Chains A and B, each alone.
Chain A
Amino acid sequence: MSSKNYQEELFEHFKYPCNKKSIENPDFRAGQDNPSCGDKVAIEGKISDNKIVEVGFSGSGCVISQAATSMLTEYCKGKTVDEVLALTKDDILNLVKIELGPNRLKCALLCLQVLQEALLTFKSAKK
């Protein structure tokens, strides 16, 4: 990994993150940290007609963990809960558009784990 891996779009998302805000009365919320490197991500949002209509995040950590969260929160807007629950590692890699070795993959995937945890909790609470 090098400057070329920190491709411009990713780096812009780190410097000027999208959706780094809190949401009032969120329908879903979850947060996790990765103690092995200190990355922290919490995501919350609102759902209407089973679609994500508002989303915000807070967090701190490395460029990849924070930029991926910014990108994912942009990407998930307007998607249904099940569409987001079906996202995989490959979808995140397509979003961040960089190659990641096994040691950095967990930085990029933290946001997906958090978002899916939040949506699963939302779904099971609804039942």
Chain B
Amino acid sequence: MDFKKIRSDFPIFSKIEQMGRKFVYLDSAATTHKPQQVVDSIVDFYTLHNANVHRGLYDSGEHATALYEGAREKVAKFINAKASSEIIFTSGTTESINFVAQTWAVNNLKSGDEILLTQAEHHANLLPWQRVAKQTGAVLKFIPIFCHPELDSGSIQINAPEHLVTPRTKLVAVTYISNVLGDIWNQGQLENLIKNAKAQGAKILIDAAQAVAHRKVDVQALDVDFIAFSGHKMFAPTGIGVLYIKSDLHDQVEPYKLGGGMVHSVSFESASWAKSPHKFEAGTPAIAQAIGLGVAVDYISQNLNFDQIAEHEVFLYKKLLSELVKIKKIRIAGNISEAEPHGSMVCFTVDGVHAHDIAGYLGGKGISVRAGHHCAQPLVKLLGFESLVRVSFGVYNTEQDVDTFVTELTEALKFFGAL
């Protein structure tokens, strides 16, 4: 993989540099940039093919439908789904999880049933289940995240999560990669948990938002029932996301929205649904964005290799970490003691300086990092932080990005009197 060539596929870097501004983007966990191919696909759709899907019996209508359904097939292949009818287009991870909560979960859970989450969930995989618990009387249980007490820079660990699975566990809804801690699962741990939960008859939902641009997601190998992710975190446009629903469950899951395009037949009094995926996609979908997602999948398949992405990110991660640990008052959240870390992000704070001040200072120097609670307030509090600076990598980041970040971070800390 030629990382220099890959970076040049993302026009935003050269455009901003041409305008004479520095641009070090270290916030890919929030959203990734888009390669030229994806940008072009949006322009092409609106200039050449614009039409609604599944309706018009004219050339552009047929063509738009073929492109839209083609994108679904690409996504199905990308996550190794058995059939493209298992791919439901949504607006993103948040809608995908709310979808499962308000359709399958509220209709299939009852008082005393258990939903098993981790303490590291993004609010998008926590609040929908809090609502389901209120609606059904189900109980939320949490797989604890432990910090190694002997290491002051909090190494993270999950112990034997399968022990929390009981005959009452009806759903395990957990993150694949945390948006604060990065990798939280040890080798084989998530797979074991899934196996144990399935043996008790539980359904499995994986929040793969932070995983899709960094590792191969294989729904059959993982043996999951639902997977949720967003296009914009994997080089595709905003406004498009995916909910994978395993075929066996299509009859058990009610439609999330009702309206055009999702019916078999309708009378004044009642209606019957079309088959999946149309049953689950009422109304005009985000057509251009779905096509853009298909092109992003093509981009990944044709240009990227997940093993090499991981290697590249771990290289950047280790380089960054080796510099960060030299800072006296720093506290790092995450798996920093692991021999082979998964390196897509690092969260930290420096005593005496608010994370927003660090991020604000760096922003003025052309460096984009995120600061705050990262939509994981309970986790950030649990780890003993109020606010964290997050540096997260994408495939286009370079060693130079890390060097610039470290130099300017040092300047920021001097400025705020912490060095």
Q: Identify the A interface with B (CB < 8 A).
A: 1-6, 15, 35-39, 61-64, 104, 107
Contacts and interface: CB of A to CB of B under 8 A. Distances in A.
A2 B365 contact: yes
Contact of A2 (B361, B373, B417): B361
For the complex of A and B, list the 6 residue pairs with the smallest distance between their C-beta atoms, beginning with the closest. A2-B364, A38-B386, A62-B354, A1-B360, A62-B356, A1-B364
A3 B357 CA distance: 10
B415 interface: yes
Contacts of A61: 354, 356
Contacts of B70: none
B354 A38 contact: yes
A37 B415 contact: no
Nearest to B365: A2
A38 B353 CA distance: 12
Most buried by B among A4, A15, A38: A38
Nearest to B377: A35
A63 B372 CA distance: 15
A61 B416 CA distance: 13
B363 interface: yes
B373 A36 contact: yes
Contacts of B371: 37
Interface string B343-378: 000000000001111001101110000011100010
B372 A6 contact: no
Given A1-B363, A6-B415, A63 B354 contact: yes
B352 to A, nearest CB: 11
A6 B354 contact: no
Contacts of B372: 36-37
A35 B386 CA distance: 9
Contact of B364 (A3, A63, A107): A3
B387 interface: yes
Contacts of B357: 6, 62-64
Contacts of B355: 37
Contacts of A2: 360-361, 363-365
A62 B354 CA distance: 5
Contact of B361 (A1, A36, A37): A1
B373 A5 contact: no
B415 A3 contact: yes
B360 A104 contact: yes
Contact of A4 (B364, B373, B411): B364
A3 B354 contact: no
B356 A107 contact: yes
Contacts of A107: 356
18 contacts: A1-B363, A1-B364, A2-B364, A3-B411, A4-B364, A6-B357, A6-B361, A35-B373, A37-B354, A37-B371, A37-B373, A38-B386, A39-B354, A61-B356, A62-B356, A62-B357, A62-B360, A63-B357
Contacts of A15: 417
A107 B356 CA distance: 10
Of A5, A39, A63, which is in contact with the most chain B CB atoms at under 10 Å from its CB? A63
A62 B355 CA distance: 8
Nearest to B372: A37
Contacts of A104: 356, 360
A4 B363 CA distance: 12
A35 B375 CA distance: 11
- For B356, B386, B411, the residue with the greatest tally of chain A CB atoms inside 10 Å of its CB is B356
B73 to A, nearest CB: 39
Contacts of B356: 37, 61-62, 64, 104, 107
Contacts of B415: 3, 6
A123 B415 CA distance: 42
Nearest to B412: A3
Contacts of A6: 357, 360-361, 415
B208 to A, nearest CB: 25
Contacts of B361: 1-3, 6
B370 to A, nearest CB: 11
A15 B365 CA distance: 22
Interface in B371-391: 371-373, 377, 386-387
Contacts of A64: 356-357, 360
Contacts of B417: 15
